[in-house]
Amino acid sequence: MSNDPLLQPYQLKHLRLRNRIMITSHEPAYSENGMPTERYRAYHVERAKAGVALTMTAGSAAVSLDSPPVFDNLLVYKDEIVPWMKDLTDECHEHGAAVMIQLTHLGRRTRWDKGEWLPALSPSHRREAAHRAFPKKMEEWDIQRIIKDYTDAAERMVAAGLDGIELQAYGHLMDQFWSPLTNTLDGPYGGNLDNRLRFTFELLKSIRQRVGDDFIVGLRYTGDEMLAGGLSMTDGLSISQRLKDSGMVDFLNVVRGHIDTDAGLTDVIPIQGMRNSPHLDFAGEIRTATDMPTFHAAKIPDVATARHAIVSGKVDMVGMTRAHMTDPHIIRKIIAGDEDNIRPCVGANYCLDRIYQGGAAFCIHNAATGRELSMPHDIPKAEVRKKIVIVGAGPGGLEAARVAAERGHEVVVFEALNDAGGQIRLTAQSPRRQEMIGIIDWRMSQCERLGVRFHFNTYAEVDNIQAEKPDVVIIATGGLPDTEVLDKGNELVVSSWDILSRSIQPGSNVLLFDDAGDHAALQAAEVIANSGANLEIITPDRSFAPEVMAMNLVPYMRTLQQQAVTFTVTYRLKSVSRDGDQLLATIGSDYDDGSRDFTQTRRVDQVIINHGTLPFDDLYFELRGLSSNEGEVNYNDLIHGTPQALTHNHEGQFQLFRIGDAISARNTHAAIYDALRLVKDL
């Protein structure tokens, strides 16, 4: 047996967990009508098969009708969930993983205009900034009803054969009772800490009476809200001790911080550029003080940090949640001594930000995650070996190269620059976003392992391609900034990429027009603001940077709000003209109905435009006539996973495809998904 501390089993009551790595609860929004159907099951089973010890399913599964889901959470208040959870649990059990589920009532952390349109509620009328509901202040009958709802939900999970449950108490109803900031009730459920904990202990008692002593029940809770007037660390330690002393709780899953604002949530679940494992020591302090089985997750992205968490005795089970979204096979690779091949989580937080936008969780650089029913994590070998030439070594081109090489094909990549990376290399210029380069580095190391041949500093032309005698050519040349958006003065502006690449220095009085709403604008803004310039960001959108999304916005705002930056929404840059050694920017509005003059002007020394990219597609169009399919993709085959077989030109020398921004400006995930989806069937 291995002596790797991470691979040692852990005995939790009667339950033997096969190693020390768990996936903490996270709702990926894969449910259908609140049920964990095939896709949901496949996601967890993939990770169970690869060796995870415990998967905490769901995330904020709703116990009550007046806790409507905010991101397609599971509805554990419905009896029909039992067979679905049973199927998921049975299949994970077959592969040796334990299965639990996180149950909750969201309290004020939801909206009233979802589900059954019942009022949101909380132990006070105080609104949560993030979800915006003004809650009803709870009455006694709400308390008794919700305790019963939790208890019924717990019983359903026993019926489904789960190993245990975890009650959520950070930012949700349970700790809304605990925190003086969110509980203005009088006794018996408000006032001193004993009163504020009464709901929790009545609830635990009720659950225990129903499920017995053997079923595992834990809490995932904040031990320190890190908010003025909120629960302090002393309160947290006292709560932890009382949970232990109650004898009703089997494990503590420790969180530190508050999640009522985007900024608070981002400190609890740090993203790229933020410190690794910032709350691990705190979890260790709770473990030392209570001697309780302690779980914890918060940006422990790599095996070395996870190993440290266990060896140092700070936790008993270490959560690697986003890390498992990026690479579901972490444990299999640890066991095989193949850690170097683990695909790294780069903290891009595309996964989490998407669910807050109402989408499903996808990993920025593993397009198979959440698509286990249609996309392979392990690429199958092709029956016939082909020669595949790829032009462009950005994320899409490298994914195409990796997948093609995994299929057993001979792969050649042409790249005009002397390094791989494309737009990601530009992104990683910002120190805060350096982790992004992991997307490229991992693919380069995989390509190296698989024998892909690279031609750097080579501007591929038709001749180069033909000389390779390829069966398939994939154009992954990306795009170039499109700044031609003005009625007049396009020649006077620079692009956000010019600033990011440092090929143009920031001016001192700068206007940045952003109607792409993506990272490039805010990254350029950081460079400009940090240079000490005055900066105004203008967008025609209703809010700025919509593609950046909630948690990713936090570090930008922490920089930009410290600098001379103003944001102007709902205005559109129309034209730029010279005005002595300055530029005169004319600004209009999409709301202009001709009734009044909406025009404004700004006098600045630099105008920057961020308007996405135009495809860099000359080579593609030159090659089209030489190809058998004339570049056409059969979308039905693409979606259904059948090989591309269109032939328009019987004289064609090869099949030709385009992926990523070489088609149209999208994002990294789209480029990687284009590549995986196409090449897995070539």
Ligand X SMILES: Cc1cc2nc3c(=O)[nH]c(=O)nc-3n(C[C@H](O)[C@H](O)[C@H](O)COP(=O)(O)O)c2cc1C
* Residues binding ligand SF4 (CB under 6 A): 322, 325-326, 345-351, 363-365
Question: 533 or 551, CB closer to ligand X?
Answer: 551
Tell me which DSSP letter residue 190 carries. Answer: S
Using CB under 6 A as the binding criterion, the count of chain residues that bind ligand X stands at 24
Interface with ligand X, residue 658, by CB under 6 A = no
SS percent in the chain: helix, strand, coil, step 5: 35, 20, 45
269 contact, one of ligand X, ligand SF4, none, CB 5-8 Å limit per kind: ligand X
Instruction: Count CA atoms closer than 13 A to 447's CA, side-chain side.
Output: 26
In whole angstroms, what separates CA 294 from the centre of its chain?
25
From the list 53, 120, 355, 499, which residue makes contact with ligand X (rule: CB under 6 A)? 355
Is the bond preceding 188 in cis, omega lying within 30 degrees of 0?
A: yes
Question: 196 or 220, CB closer to ligand X?
Answer: 220
Kindly state the smallest distance separating residue 346's Cβ from ligand SF4, in Å.
5
Kindly state the smallest distance separating residue 322's Cβ from ligand SF4, in Å.
4
Residues 319-348 contacting ligand X, CB under 6 A: 319-323
Tell me which DSSP letter residue 414 carries. Answer: E
Kindly state the smallest distance separating residue 23's Cβ from ligand SF4, in Å.
12
Phi, psi of 70 (to 5 degrees): -100, -25
The CA–CA distances, whole Å, from 223 to 271, 505, 525, 553 equal: 21, 46, 36, 26
45 contact, one of ligand SF4, ligand X, none, CB 5-8 Å limit per kind: none
Interface with ligand X, residue 130, by CB under 6 A = no
The residues near 198 (Cβ < 8 Å, ≥ 6 apart) are: 177, 188, 189
The residues near 543 (Cβ < 8 Å, ≥ 6 apart) are: 569
Question: 240 or 349, CB closer to ligand SF4?
Answer: 349
Kindly state the smallest distance separating residue 328's Cβ from ligand SF4, in Å.
11
Interface with ligand X, residue 196, by CB under 6 A = no
Stretch that binds ligand X, among 124-132, 298-306, 551-559, 644-652 (CB under 6 A): 298-306
**Residue 21 burial (C-beta neighbours within 10 Å; 0-12, 13-18, 19+):** buried
27/72 Cα distance (integer angstroms): 8
Rama region for 128: left / alpha / beta (φ>0; ψ in -120 to 50; rest)? beta
346 contact, one of ligand SF4, ligand X, none, CB 5-8 Å limit per kind: ligand SF4
Stretch that binds ligand X, among 23-31, 109-117, 456-464, 606-614 (CB under 6 A): 23-31
Kindly state the smallest distance separating residue 364's Cβ from ligand SF4, in Å.
4
Question: 198 or 669, CB closer to ligand SF4?
Answer: 669
Interface with ligand X, residue 260, by CB under 6 A = no
Phi, psi of 104 (to 5 degrees): -160, 160
Residues 45-104 contacting ligand X, CB under 6 A: 59-60, 102
Instruction: Count CA atoms closer than 13 A to 143's CA, side-chain side.
Output: 21
Question: 17 or 524, CB closer to ligand X?
Answer: 17
Residues 477-536 contacting ligand X, CB under 6 A: none
The residues near 409 (Cβ < 8 Å, ≥ 6 apart) are: 382, 385, 386, 387, 388, 682
Evaluated on CA atoms 455, 460, 464, 466, the torsion sign reads positive
258/353 Cα distance (integer angstroms): 17
Question: 342 or 352, CB closer to ligand X?
Answer: 352
Stretch that binds ligand X, among 31-39, 315-323, 451-459, 539-547 (CB under 6 A): 315-323
Kindly state the smallest distance separating residue 308's Cβ from ligand SF4, in Å.
20
Site residues, ligand X (CB under 6 A): 24-28, 59-60, 102, 168, 220, 269, 297-300, 319-323, 351-352, 355, 361
